Structures are given as C-alpha cells and as structure tokens.
Chains A and B, each alone.
Chain A
Amino acid sequence: MTVFICILEICWRATKSGRGLPQSRTLARWRCATKFAERLGLRALVVTFSLFVANAYSATNDFFTQGMALNQAGQFPEAAAAFQSDLKHQVSPGALVNLGIAEWQGGHAGAAMLAWERAAWLDPYDERAKQNLKFARQVTQVDAPELRWHEKISAVLPSAAWGWLAGVGLWLATGALVLPRVFRWRKSGGPQALAALGVGIFILALTAEFGVAGRTNLGVVLKKNAPLLLTPTRAGEMILTLNAGESARVLRARGNFYFIRTLMGAGWVARENIGFVVEK
C-alpha cells in the first residue's frame, strides 16, 4: 500500500511537471483528470483512504504475526485468539492452519480439526491442512467424513473455482451458439465443438456445485464426549457420546439442536457441540 501511494504521488507530480511539453493523448487526459481531481480535493482523500487501507492491512498482518509469536512462546490460547482476530478480517488457509495448531496444542481437538477442514475447504491442495487432518484422525481415532461421489468431485478444486467454471462453460456454450449466427460466420464444426465443450464444462461444474452444496452441511464435533440424543431436548435419552473431531452431516435443525448423521449413528446434538465447515 505504501508503494501504491508512492506511485500515485509520482504519477501526480509527473503529470504536473509535464506542462508545456509534448505529451501523448493518454497522458494529457490523465493530466486533465488529475487537475480536476485536485480541484475537488480528491488527492488528499485518496491518500487518506490509501493510508487507511494500509493501516487496516497492517493491523491484520499484526494479528497473524502476533499469533505466530504467541504460539512459539507456548501461549496457545492467546495465539488462537490472535489467529481468530486475523480471520475476522480475511479468511486464509495459512491462518486457519495455524489456528488449528494452536487449538490442538491447547487441547481442543474438535476446534483444531474444524480449522483444518476449513483450510482444506479454501485450498484443497494445502499440504499442511491435509497432513494435520490425517495426523489428528489417527490420534483421536475418528474417520474422515464419507463423501458422496459428487462431493468428492467438488473437493478437487476450491468451491469458488467451480462457480467460475460453471459460468465460463455457460458463457462459452451460449456464445458459441449465438455469435456465429450473429456475425454470419460460415458454419463449421469449431463453434459447435466449443459449444459442446462449454456445455460439458457447465454440466461437470453443476455436478460439483451440488457437491459443494452438500459439503456445506458437513460439520465437526467440537466437544469431547458430546452426547448424541434421541430427541431434541436437553433431557433427551442419550444414544452415545461423540468424540471431539468426529465428522457429521447435519440433516435438519430444530430449536437449539441439529439432527446429524455420523458413522456411529444418527441423532440430535446441541448446537454448541457442532461446528460447521462453512458457517451458516
């Protein structure tokens, strides 16, 4: 952000110093724009806004660095809090991985595995998140969630990628069908092949979209020995207790309870005992 301000200032001064010299049309237009902006007092506004953004950015950067320092000092609850503050501004796989490590070392297996699942959601190819999830499942003796075939497809790329792919496929197919006719191109196999490709991409992406939607219902048990109840009431009969870090698929909600399905069984669990990979 500091570099951006410097560049802005240099450009501003360059245009002002270029008066009287032969200039390109673009530069002349830029000069007019800066003159106009200057009259409106926008220069100060832009610099102030840039500084504000720079400050905000540096503030978030501080939480990440702070969290790392606290973790290395052994202050795991404080480190976790710092990483969570960082995540409030922007979500990133690095901060989620570090949050998971801090939570794990603080003894919260459920929260740690949830953080790593989120990191994997953002970046399926993050090696740290994958490694830590495998390690944690080995330690806590829980299994990875069972994904349906379309959910497995959706896990290959980040969720946003499938959205864009679907869009690109749709545009490609629509454009390949419409534009040749509009521009009266000679009929050939090229546009039709492109249209077919676009439709194929769209259908594949659409399938993955369903997988993404399905995966948003996945959650992780946060607390150790969380009870799985027969009915959505506090006094409900307990079917079994769940391990922290166990994956669950949330099917419906009622009041303060979710009906979940795990590998061990299905039942109701209190809201505070489940964390969604994608927050509702």
Chain B
Amino acid sequence: MENIEPPTAVRSRVLKMWRLFFCCWLLAIISKNLHAQQPVVLPPGVAVQMMLPQPAVDVSPAQSYSATAAFDPPTVRVGEKTFYRVTVDATQNAIAWPDEIAAPPELKFGASVRGQISRVEGNRFHPLTSFVYEVTATQPGNFTVPGLVLPIGWPPVEIPPATLAVTETNLVATISARRLALEISGTNFFPGQPFRVRVLLFAAEGNQIEALRELEFNGGGLLTDKLATRQSVEMVKRDGQMRPAFVQETVATPLVPGSLNISAQAFTAGHEFGGPVAISGQVTIAGGVPNYILLTSEPLTITVRPLPDGELPGYTGTMGKFLADKTQLSTNRLRVGEPVQLKFGFHPEGDLTRFVPPSPPRSRDWQIIAGKPGENSFTLIPQTDGATMTPVIPFSAFDPATKKFYDLTIPAWPVTVIGEGLPVQLDDWNAAEKNPAPLKLSGLAMTRGKTAVSLKPLQSQGWFVVAQLLPVIFFWALWRWDERRRFLEAHPEIVRRRQAKRELRRVKIKIEAAAAAGDAEKFVQHAAAAMRVVVAPHFPAEARALVGGDVLTQLNAAERNGRDGETVRNIFAAADAQFGGTSISPSPLRAEAALLVLKTDVEAVLKKLEDKL
C-alpha cells in the first residue's frame, strides 16, 4: 500500500505555502518603499565640540564670589601713572559698578576700562571681570582708595581697599605701569578704509611672553575684522632696543568721519594662545595658571575724513585699488526667460582693501539676481527678445591713495535673445468655413522673384512723373506745329512776304558789297533785283518776271514823279542796258560813278517798298 498523505495534510501544507508566499510578497512591497535612515550631518564646529571634552560652567551660588583691588604698580612717583584695578570673579553684567569711585583728592582718576574673561579653574569655567582706572598722583604720600560693597548676590561682595604709595620724583626707582602698545598703519583715513592695527605686549623680565585674550578697541566708530587677526611673537624695536613682544595684529575699519581716539584693552592670558602663533626670537612662555590682568594702551588719535565729492555711480563702499578681471558670460545666445550667469572678478593691489560687490541695477529688459556671497556673479534673465546687450552694471571704488573715485563698471555683453516661437501649424481646421485659413506657414521662397529698387511707388518719384509728361508735351508741341502749318497754308501771302523779306536782306548785303567794291555793274544788278523782290508779293509773281514799271506801280504818284521814281528808272535803265550790252552814257566811267551815288536813293526806295510789305 502506498504512503499517501491524507487530504487535510495536503490542504494545510498548501495553506502554509500560500501564507509564506503572501508574507514574502508583502515584505517585498513594503521594503520597496522603505528608505534607509540617513545619518544626521553635523556642522564641523558642532562635531568638534561634541568630540572635545569641555569644562563645565561654574553656576555656584553667590557666596563663592571674590574680589581684589590693587594699584599696578603700587608705588609711583608724583605725576606718574598707575592703574587702579579691581577684579571680581563674576560676570560683568551682574556687577552694578558705581559711576564714581570715592578716592582721595590727591589721586586723579582718568580713563577707565572694563572687561570680562572666562578662565578655567580646575574643570570649570569661571568668569572674571576687571575694572581698571588710570590714576595719576599729584602729591607724594600714601593714599588709600576705600573699599566698596557690590550687591552681587548674597552676601554682597566686598571690594577691599587699595593703597598707593607716591614718592617724590627721582627718589626711588619705580616700576612703570604695564601697558599695551598700540600701533596703527596711518593717521588719516576715509570711512570704510581698512587699516592695520597692532597691539603689542612686551615681554616681562626674563623675556617672558604672555598671550592676550579678549582684545577690544575702545573709541567707537570702529569695526574690527576678527577673521583677519594674526598672532605672533617677534622682536620689536622700542626705545632703541629690540625687545620681544607678543603681537596681535588685526584690520580695523572706521565707520564715521571725524576724529577718533582709539585705545586697546586685553587680558593677559599666560600661555593661552587662542590659535596659531608665529614665534621668532628667544622667549620664555610660563606654564601654570595664567594671571588674567586687564591691560590698556595709550589712546591714539586718527582722523577720518569724509569722502570727497564726485562719487561715481555704483559705489558700494569698495576701498582700495582694484583691477577688473575679464568678465565671463555663460552663453550669448538664450531664450526669453532663460537665465544666464555673468561672472566678474576684481583683484586687489595691496592687502588693505575692502571689496563690496556691486548691487544689481534695475533694468526694464532684464531681471538681475545677485549671486551668493563670494560667488561674484549675477544671474541675468532676459524679459524680452528685444534685448541685444546685457545690462551695464555700474560699479566704482574709492582709492585712498589718489583720493578719487574710479570706475569699475561691468560692461555689457552682446547677446542674442530668442523670443518665444510662434506656432507654425494649426491643429484645427474648420471645414465649414467658406475660406478657411491655411493650416501652416509656407516654406521658404527659393528665389527672390521680381526685384525692385525700393518699395516706394513710382508715382511718388519725380523722375517718373516727368517721364510720363514728356510724351504729352511732345504731342502738344506737335499739335501746335500742325496748327501753324495749317494757318500758313491758308495764308500764303504771309509766306511770300516772309520769303521776300528774307531775300531782300540777302540782296541788300550784296548791294552793300558791290557799292563798297565800286562795282557799278553788280550794284545795278542787285539793286534792280532787290526792287523786284520787294514788290513781287504784291502781284504775286516771280520776282525775275517783273520790270521797272511794276516797281513804279507800287509807289504813290508823288513818289513816282519824284526822286524815288527817278531812282527806279535810272536803275532799271542801267540794268536793261547791261542786259542789252549797251551803255546809257557816252562816258562809261562817269556813268558808273553816277550810279554808285544812287546808293542812298536806292536804299530809301527799298525802305519805302519794304514798309509796304
């Protein structure tokens, strides 16, 4: 008999398999949507702080406060300065320090400073506040500044009295008060012009160097750049001697014009150099717990002059000499609304400079967004496709050396801005419309087609109008000529008269020539011809067919019977004689002379006959 499983067992096994499959499927689905937890990223400073062990802050109650008061140095000569220093191990804000100190009148209290420092004692932070007064003794003797009570917590803190011994001058060698030395890189500045400040603490006996902490500058109107602070121990010449000193150098910037009195204050901090220090020279650095003493420096006066007139556009406060680097535009071909980055750079000449990047100007065609600090860039977004140049970004700086503003404007770049394209094809087509619009734009024309010089209509061009009128003028002239011709055809006597006058002029010339030459024969011929010509139109007849009698008919009776008629008869007689080959006079020479004398009469006759034409 075969070993066959009962049906219930099979069923339960199938169920188990289905269950397993379902769980796996569910797991797969869920795990797909699960994400691994990302580790929390901490900023570096916080991470370091979490790793380094830190002392606790002392929050113990008031009874643990203590205070000290002392003169430093405790013995001075008359007129020498000393410092009255009160130190309380409490926070500055907790101390209600009086405005006036009750002191003997022989002690003149001058400038005062106050400062707070955190010192580590054991494994706790303890605050320490110092109040320091400059005191000058005017008379010798021992003077005591009485103590006072400060209401810090309960019981109040008692400030003990402090005694100063003032000796006569030159009697006792005294230790001069320990002070900071302040050095400034100049005395005349402009607002916003950075300058270098050095605070020196000379080494004590045995070339013992102490660090400085909580450095502050008093005077107001001054901004210090803590990032530009540098510490060093170096040999410094002072009073003709090279002495080791702890130097803390920083950059300060005056903010307001006027005369500023600057002094420095800082706590001595032993070996607590907060940061890297460059040490040169042989010095001693004491170990152990530092003695935190608040020191001050002599005040120095600087003059901050106001900026001169002539501020150029785009001045943001940049000071110093800068040279512009080549600007860079990420692309010069862009679409409307597409951003483009404009990078600029300026490198300074010298290290005492202040760079404030230019502000984005306002532009109608561009949206201008300044880049993040340190990026030195602008993001430009064109608003229209009519923009052909990026906007000019006005920028200028002030050079304290030349005392003048100069231009550093970022120039415009040529760009091509492409507008939003218009559709070249329509999707809808209304078949019901009578004259539907085409669905798409046509293709490019392969050839130019018929060309023209300009779009201006020909009719508006002067030469065309003249060219159109010229034929008309010609036709008009032709018509006028035809009219004249017809008139002359209808009045031939006018033509004949004109011809006769023309011919008469020609013959007169010949008469003149013949008379001048003394040629009587020709004179007579031409005179007779002239008379025939001038009377021919009256008949009308061919002039050569006329005789003297015809000429006489054109004269009136008086003329005919007078000199004029005689002249005509003589001329024609002579002409006829010439024609017949005979002479009218037995003496030809005398006859010729007589004929030539008739010239005047002939002219008179011709004149009268011509007037009758």
Residues of A within 8 A of B444 (CB): 68, 71-72, 97-98, 101
Q: A91-B451, A123-B449, A160-B458 are in contact. Are A106 and B418 (CB under 8 A)?
A: yes
Pair B442/A128 contact, Cβ less than 8 Å = yes
Pair B442/A277 contact, Cβ less than 8 Å = no
Q: A77-B416, A128-B442 are in contact. Are A104 and B459 (CB under 8 A)?
A: no
Residues of A within 8 A of B424 (CB): 104-105
Pair A134/B437 contact, Cβ less than 8 Å = yes
Pair A181/B482 contact, Cβ less than 8 Å = yes
Which stretch in A42-50, A169-177, A232-240, A259-267 binds the other chain?
A169-177
Which stretch in B210-218, B470-478, B605-613 binds the other chain?
B470-478
Q: A90-B452, A160-B458 are in contact. Are A106 and B482 (CB under 8 A)?
A: no
Pair A135/B421 contact, Cβ less than 8 Å = no
Pair A106/B419 contact, Cβ less than 8 Å = yes
Asked whether A92 is an interface residue with its Cβ less than 8 Å from the other chain, the reply is yes
Partner of B455, one of A64, A181, A277: A277
CB-nearest residue of chain A to B446: A94
Residues of B within 8 A of A167 (CB): 467-468, 471
Give the distance in Å from the alpha carbon of A149 to the alpha carbon of B127 in the complex. 101
CB of B37 to closest CB in A, whole Å: 49
Q: Number of B interface residues, CB 8 Å?
A: 46
Pair B455/A108 contact, Cβ less than 8 Å = no
CB of A71 to closest CB in B, whole Å: 6
Pair A93/B449 contact, Cβ less than 8 Å = yes
Q: A175-B475, A182-B479 are in contact. Are A159 and B419 (CB under 8 A)?
A: no
Pair A91/B453 contact, Cβ less than 8 Å = yes
Give the distance in Å from the alpha carbon of A105 to the alpha carbon of B422 in the complex. 6
Asked whether B464 is an interface residue with its Cβ less than 8 Å from the other chain, the reply is yes
Partner of A107, one of B420, B449, B459: B420
Interface string of A38-79 (1 = CB under 8 A from B): 000000000000000000000000001000100110001110
Residues of B within 8 A of A131 (CB): 438, 441-442
CB of B489 to closest CB in A, whole Å: 11
Residues of A within 8 A of B422 (CB): 104-105, 107, 109, 112, 139
Interface size grouping (class) on chain A:
35 or more
Residues of A within 8 A of B452 (CB): 90-92, 122, 160
Interface string of B330-362 (1 = CB under 8 A from A): 000000100000000000000000000000000
Residues of B within 8 A of A179 (CB): 475, 478
Partner of A121, one of B443, B451, B455, B475: B455
Residue of A106, A123, A279 with most partner-chain B CB within 10 A: A106
Asked whether A137 is an interface residue with its Cβ less than 8 Å from the other chain, the reply is yes
Pair A212/B459 contact, Cβ less than 8 Å = yes
Give the distance in Å from the alpha carbon of A123 to the alpha carbon of B464 in the complex. 20
Residue of A107, A131, A182, A213 with most partner-chain B CB within 10 A: A107
Interface string of A85-127 (1 = CB under 8 A from B): 0100011111101100100111111001000001001110011
Residues of B within 8 A of A178 (CB): 475-476, 478-479, 482
Asked whether A199 is an interface residue with its Cβ less than 8 Å from the other chain, the reply is no
Asked whether A1 is an interface residue with its Cβ less than 8 Å from the other chain, the reply is no
Residues of A within 8 A of B437 (CB): 134-135, 137-138
Give the distance in Å from the alpha carbon of A30 to the alpha carbon of B535 in the complex. 56
CB of A93 to closest CB in B, whole Å: 4
CB-nearest residue of chain A to B455: A278
Asked whether A15 is an interface residue with its Cβ less than 8 Å from the other chain, the reply is no
Q: What are 7 pairs between A and B in contact, CB < 8 Å?
A: A107-B422, A108-B385, A135-B437, A163-B458, A175-B471, A277-B455, A279-B455
9 new A-B contacts, CB < 8 A, other than A77-B416, A93-B445, A97-B442, are: A77-B418, A94-B445, A95-B448, A105-B421, A109-B422, A118-B455, A123-B450, A182-B482, A216-B457
> Which 4 pairs across A and B sit closest by C-beta, in order of nearness?
A107-B419, A92-B448, A138-B437, A94-B445
